[in-house]
Amino acid sequence: MPEMCDVTFLVGKEKAPVHGVKAIMATRSRYMYQLLLQHQKQSSVERPKTKKIKDSPFSQKLTITIPDYQIGDFQAFLKFVHSGKANIGFNNVIGLLCASVEFGFSDLRTACMQFIQRCQSQGHGLALLDLAWTYQHKRPAQKLICQLKVPLQAMTQATTPLMKASARPRSQDLSANPALTPHSPPVGVTS
């Protein structure tokens, strides 16, 4: 219900409108309060003043551009800001993590990190790394990229000798040993 909202965020390169309520956002985060207040002051300076109307700094609708978030991620973030609930999923966890750090929501940050750890433990580190590059300009994503690269590099280094060994031509029949068949993953290395 955009008509009930008093702030519009123009999100992403497309500048898609995402609506919110200033009072709720300002009470949830000191950073959000400062952001809203700063933009409110800027808009009141740019707006011509009339003698008849004396507005409080929070009385008129406000528009703020947020170019560096994906629309769905910022919508999920604002839903959390307004309701305290977030639907954290594989496709929005990086954007939510970055927004939680940038706008000062430690509880959302903790939930995102727990979700990321679960994904890593289930072997989805490489997919998370790909998603993290979307927000490579944000510090939380940069840290996550570094954290995800280290285990992946170690895993790559550990499997490289095995890959080289299985890539060597052998005189023996590979089908006799199911662990070395080209279509099955390597089982283990014995010396």
The 10s digit of each residue's pLDDT in 99-139 is 999 999 999 999 999 999 999 999 998 899 999 999 999 99
- Whole-number Cα distances in Å, 191 to 5, 88, 165, 188: 68, 45, 12, 10
Rounded (5°) CA angle 125-130-136: 115
pLDDT at 53 over 70: no
Query: Smallest Cα–Cα separation from 91: which of 130, 141, 138, 53?
Result: 130
Q: How confident is the model at residue 176 (pLDDT cuts 50, 70, 90)?
A: very low
Residue 150: what pLDDT?
Answer: 66
Higher local confidence (pLDDT), 176 or 21: 21
